[in-house]
Amino acid sequence: MALLQISEPGQTTAPHQRNYAAGIDLGTTNSLVAINRSGQVETLPDNDNNHLLPSVVHYAENDIIVGHAAQNLQAADPLNTLSSVKRIMGRGIEDVKSLGNVLPYEFDGNNDSAVPRIMTRQKSVSAIEVSAEILSVLSNRAEQTMGEALSGVVITVPAYFDDAQRQATRDAAKLADLNVYRLLNEPTAAAVAYGLDQQAEGMIAVYDLGGGTFDISILNLTRGVFEVLATGGNSSLGGDDMDHAIAEWLIEQAEIKAIDAKVIRNLLIASRKAKEDLTQQESTLIDLPQLGFSLTLDRTQFNHLVEDLVNKTLMSCRRALRDAKIEKEEINNVVMVGGSTRVPLVVDQVGKFFNCTPLTDLDPDRVVAIGAALQADVLAGNKPDQELLLLDVLPLSLCIETMGGLSEKIISRNTPIPVARAQEFTTFKDGQTAMAIHVVQGERELVSDCRSLAHFELRGIPPMTAGAARIKVTYQVDADGLMSVMAEELSSGVKADIVIKPSYGLTDGEIETMLRDSMSHAKEDIDARMRAEQQVEAQRVIEAIDSALTKDGHDLLNDNEFKAITVARNELEKVLQSATTEELKVAIKSIEVISEEYVAKRMNASVQKVLSGKNINEVEV
């Protein structure tokens, strides 16, 4: 029995066609998945009610363990337990070397691969593969929770990420068999989660101090559209560094001499716990009997240890403001993101710096995932149109060629993408078994004035009378501008499809010319369209008359009547190509008048045929 969720008014979808779309925050330290259920966007917990999935992957003998279980194995088996791999996503081997000893792993030196590979007991793995394991666990969690497959996901990335890093993230998703609607900048996701996109306008600073990265982003919101004015930060600065600062302090205080990977792990785990305790308490006890010490750390001492780090973030804030060419006073909202913003010193200092109270109502660990889920829901098409945001638009309309060389718009210009639109068409001739589909792009009424994108054919339509087949043509454009067209005959289910890249190949100049043409030719275009429409109509009339006359013309009509209709038909055919719109209209009208009686006779005859030999009860109405 399927368990149902409540939809927005009028948004109920057919069974098995629900678009469940999740937002995934693929973090350095922790990852999360959030989804919209019955209008409520929440992060999803696992079976043990943990929302956060530690971004840790353990490679066991024959198994891959992700999350808390892997984290628990970190101290015992540090070399086969990989964490914080986001730091090396999309990085080259040289970059990784420059990170120094931050990551206590053995890199595979005997590999030609451009991507650094970490040696584990199973195999050498890249950061992409490790991330894919994390993504798989999260998407499985979402699918189990919803009881249905995900139609797609939005994955967040630091605003800082360059193309290589973004591509690596996409690759990880591909490896995890996920459909990525798009990658969303983390600060934008956070602002969306706080509903700041509902405001008319404002300047927003998003301060994101996560486990391994610090981001400051200055966003300018105007009429529901976010413009990223500036981003800054440090892709190797975060809560991990606070842990390191505490660990170093511990090494110094306890005078620890023998330091190996295992000792470092133990120290870091204890340091992280101490840091977390100090968000609520004034002091905490760090007790590590296996290393032979027990020390008390109070908040003052802790603040002293991390002061430099916080100051570094504020320097980045100042730089970002300068890049955005705005003053501190112009910032209306400061959004706090990332678990490390729970540290009281951070909130204090950021509040003082921007001179306003930072937004901290939402769980700083979950806020990005929630924003991503909101955006995913919009991208999956589950929201009414007016709630669309942050989307690209289609530069030119996408059309289909119809009879008479006319272009019919399926998706009009300036429609936000991704988008899918379907329209039904039918056959023109009796017994027509194939249909040629011509995809064109442009604003003009005639296909010859638009740009041809693709031709393909739908074959295997069952023979039917003209107009009886129902052919649904669906145009779809994804967030990357990739277009796919599908044609399906609904009664038989025959399908054909094609994938095209629409706007590629058209320069901005060409697009502009095409747009200008459509305006300056508007009048003649409409005239041409009307004439072409009448030509199609005339052709349809001729087809219909031919088919009727062959069937029962001689039975129902006397010679004179037959001749009159044939003459009118031939006359229409003769003027078809040369006549004006008006002349065509007149000719069609005159045939209709002449054949009026014939049509009535045919109808009577077919009614009689159905009724003959049956009593009234047998007739189905």
Partner 1 sequence: MAINLTEKAAERVKGFLHSRGKGLGLRIGIKTTGCSGMAYVLEFVDDVNDDDEVFESQGVKVIIDPKSMVYLDGTKVDFAKEGLNEGFQFINPNAKDECGCGESFTV
Shortest distance, position 460 Cβ to partner 1, whole Å: 24
> Does 111 interact with partner 1 (rule: CB under 8 A)?
no
x/- string (CB under 8 A) for partner 1, residues 4-43? Answer: xxxxxxxxx-xxx--------------------xxxx---
Query: Binding residue for partner 1 (CB under 8 A) from 117, 141, 182, 438?
Result: 141
Asked whether the beta carbons of 157 and 183 are under 8 A apart, the reply is yes
Q: Which of 171, 197, 208, 365 is catalytic?
A: 208
Query: Binding residue for partner 1 (CB under 8 A) from 62, 133, 144, 229?
Result: 144
> Does 44 interact with partner 1 (rule: CB under 8 A)?
yes
Query: What does R_g of the chain's alpha carbons equal in angstroms?
Result: 33
**Can you read off the two tokens belonging to residue 525?**
């275009």
Report the Cα–Cα distance between both ends of the chain, in Å, rounded.
Answer: 37
The answer to whether 186 is a known catalytic residue is yes
| Distance, CA of 535 to CA of 48 (rounded, Å) | 69
Q: Which of 46, 129, 171, 186 is catalytic?
A: 186
User: What number of chain residues touch partner 1 (CB under 8 A)?
Assistant: 27
Q: Which stretch binds partner 1 (CB under 8 A): 140-148, 267-275, 496-504, 571-579?
A: 140-148
The answer to whether 365 is a known catalytic residue is no
The answer to whether 25 is a known catalytic residue is yes
**For residue 576, which of 565, 587, 566, 567 has the smallest C-alpha distance?**
587
Instruction: Return the number of other C-beta atoms located less than 10 Å from residue 474's C-beta.
Output: 15
For partner 1, give the closer residue by CB, 146 or 469: 146
> Of residues 272-291, which lie at the interface with partner 1 (CB under 8 A)?
none
Shortest distance, position 193 Cβ to partner 1, whole Å: 14
> Does 47 interact with partner 1 (rule: CB under 8 A)?
yes
For partner 1, give the closer residue by CB, 2 or 258: 2
Element (H, E) at 534: helix 522-548
Shortest distance, position 367 Cβ to partner 1, whole Å: 16
The answer to whether 86 is a known catalytic residue is yes
Residues contacting 391, CB < 8 A, separation 6+: 379, 416, 417, 418, 479
Shortest distance, position 384 Cβ to partner 1, whole Å: 10
**Would residue 405 be called left, alpha or beta, if left means φ above 0 and alpha means ψ between -120 and 50 degrees?**
left
Query: Binding residue for partner 1 (CB under 8 A) from 92, 109, 147, 462?
Result: 147
Instruction: Dump the DSSP string for 83-140.
Output: E-GGGGTT--HHHHHHTTTSS---B--S---SS-EEE-SS-EEEHHHHHHHHHHHHHH
Q: Which long-range contacts (CB under 8 A, 24 or more apart) does 509-515 make?
A: 511/395, 511/396, 514/396, 514/442, 514/443, 514/444, 514/450, 514/451, 515/396, 515/413, 515/443
Asked whether the beta carbons of 225 and 389 are under 8 A apart, the reply is yes
> Does 145 interact with partner 1 (rule: CB under 8 A)?
yes
> Does 361 interact with partner 1 (rule: CB under 8 A)?
no
> Does 431 interact with partner 1 (rule: CB under 8 A)?
no
**For residue 418, which of 375, 461, 456 has the smallest C-alpha distance?**
375
Query: Binding residue for partner 1 (CB under 8 A) from 22, 34, 35, 146?
Result: 146
For partner 1, give the closer residue by CB, 44 or 343: 44
| Distance, CA of 291 to CA of 73 (rounded, Å) | 18
- Which residue numbers are catalytic? 25, 86, 186, 208
Binding residues for partner 1, per CB under 8 A? 1-12, 14-16, 37-40, 44, 46-47, 141, 144-147
